A and B are shown apart, each in its own frame.
Chain A
């Protein structure tokens, strides 16, 4: 349907076309055509992105009834209610710890993987399939695999530990180690993915530069600090903000592995939002949390785009 729109304002192709100057022929399209083509997709973005953004902000100041309907203006009452929930503050703290640990480990592991694999990128398919299998599978499947692996006593992890004399391991049964498992799963799932970007960045370093470095600075230390790192910095900044965005959005692994427990030790903000909205039907605090999440997630992904722009990104 949309392709016909393109020809909409276009005059009939004329048999003797070449005689006519091109600019005049294209003019009708330039006047109306772009808008006709852009109307539907732009309307979809307005309807499903722009309007919800405004609504999310507005709704957080409304009083909401038991069924989510607006019952009046509430000012900051939703925010007050949210911040008075102990679980919200716990979730916020958990998320900070989780995101910080996940991002740092993820970027470091991705860097190491990129170093290790860039020498072998064309080489062994089984290796690539095994390293990148977590990248192509859903987080739910990955979490299921880990759940199966970590189940106390019956899981292989426990059996392996048992074989070396460590009994009663129950990583998901204690708040600290359960959060640690979530971090490890995040790194396992996403570090290879981010390594791909770092590898692409490494490959973008011109061959001549690499060879010059190899002869002039065999230990590589100076080269790393003065040449490689600055060249990769925008890519690393992009990967870091993306990792941060992904970690704040985490919910799948919590849903499968811990349901926020034990003792709320793995309740992350996204999971808490799901709980507030779709389990507690606590619409007021949910609206306030939505607005806060919208602001922070959008800031993060905006920052990652700016990181990209510094690399090679053109707005216009």
Chain B
């Protein structure tokens, strides 16, 4: 573990690592902005934007990912609170139900999920994409863990001050779950905006299609072969925003990943 900071081998290894993981992405960004005649160009980017409704894909993605985050957080906080602080008959059964949601990934029951969404006439809608994900077991367990760590005395004190359950929940518990909520937000957003197969089979058209599915279609074979400059530019459109966000909050985002399963 005690790798020396200055050891030349370490520096070499770090350089190697940076090149292996960073270079392909840099190359695609370079290909996007480098004009074939030399110099800088926005032409590829403009062409990619014109080739598919990326703006609409992006809006769809924001609505889907944002909507899911809100719903998962609300459900997660409420259920987590109840499971952390109340005893009632059937509690372990219900806890097991939310664990089941973690244990059985959507991919494992894909075709049935598809048939349910089809039965609800929600194919090709953003709601249809969101439905199977509305409740997140990971959110429930994260909040439960955060709420458990809140000292009972704080709750008692608040009750003595005249707060009812909802007041205690809002004033005492929720503020102390903010770090867990933020960590969960990173996980949820990363998972859902990169999700591919489920939105692929649910969506038919640009009205509901998220950006990752739109991006995959650019890479598809076509009559006249692939337009490689478009492929690079479309990929750049998708990754530049996330790289900017990541670069500005690198450490916080990384520690959120590491605490994903810190229940």
Contacts and interface: CB of A to CB of B under 8 A. Distances in A.
Q: A–B direct touch, CB within 8 Å, in complex?
A: yes
Interface of A: 2-3, 5-7, 10-11, 13, 15, 17-18, 22, 25-26, 29-31, 33-35, 37-38, 40-42, 44-53, 55-56, 59, 68, 113, 115-116, 118-120, 122, 125-141, 143-149, 151, 154, 156, 188, 192-193, 196-197, 199-200, 202, 210, 214, 220, 228, 238, 245, 249, 251-252, 255-256, 270, 273-274, 277-278, 286-287, 290, 293-294, 297-298, 301-302, 305, 308, 312-316
Contact of A132 (B91, B107, B166, B250): B250
A301 B107 CA distance: 12
B162 A199 contact: no
Contacts of A145: 24-25, 27-28, 235
Interface of B: 1-5, 10, 13-14, 17-18, 20-22, 24-25, 27-28, 31, 74-75, 78-79, 81-82, 86-88, 91-92, 94-95, 97-105, 107-116, 131-132, 134-135, 137, 140, 156, 159-160, 162-167, 169-170, 190, 193-194, 196-197, 200-201, 212-213, 215-216, 218-219, 228, 231-232, 234-235, 238-239, 242-243, 246-247, 250-251, 253-254, 257-259, 261, 263
30 contacts: A7-B165, A13-B162, A37-B79, A37-B81, A41-B75, A44-B134, A46-B97, A53-B100, A56-B111, A59-B112, A128-B251, A130-B18, A130-B22, A131-B17, A131-B22, A132-B254, A133-B21, A133-B25, A134-B25, A139-B196, A144-B218, A145-B25, A148-B31, A151-B228, A200-B258, A210-B1, A220-B2, A274-B201, A277-B201, A308-B261
A186 to B, nearest CB: 14
Contact of A119 (B10, B135, B212): B10
Contacts of A136: 190, 242-243, 246, 253
Given A38-B79, A50-B100, A297-B107, 11 more contacts: A5-B78, A13-B162, A18-B160, A45-B98, A46-B97, A48-B132, A53-B104, A113-B17, A133-B21, A255-B216, A277-B114
A135 to B, nearest CB: 7
B219 A147 contact: yes
Contact of B165 (A10, A125, A147): A10
A298 B13 contact: no
Contacts of B159: 17, 22, 25
A135 B25 contact: no
A302 to B, nearest CB: 5
Given A48-B116, A137-B242, A38 B108 contact: no
Contacts of A46: 97
Contacts of A301: 102-105
Contacts of B193: 138
Nearest to A18: B160
Q: Which secondary structure characterizes the binding site on chain A?
A: helix
B162 A140 contact: no
Contact of B21 (A22, A115, A131, A255): A131
Nearest to B216: A140
Contacts of A17: 159-160, 162
B108 to A, nearest CB: 4
A298 B235 contact: no
Given A50-B97, A188-B21, A2 B78 contact: yes
Q: Which secondary structure characterizes the binding site on chain B?
A: helix
Contacts of A214: 2
A210 B163 CA distance: 47
B161 to A, nearest CB: 8
A42 B197 contact: no
Contacts of A287: 111
A134 B22 CA distance: 8
A315 B74 CA distance: 22
A251 B239 contact: no
- Most chain A CB within 10 A, of B2, B20, B24, B247, is at B24
Contact of A156 (B13, B27, B81, B105): B27
A38 B82 contact: yes
B30 to A, nearest CB: 10
- Most chain A CB within 10 A, of B140, B218, B263, is at B263
B216 A200 contact: no
B111 A286 contact: yes
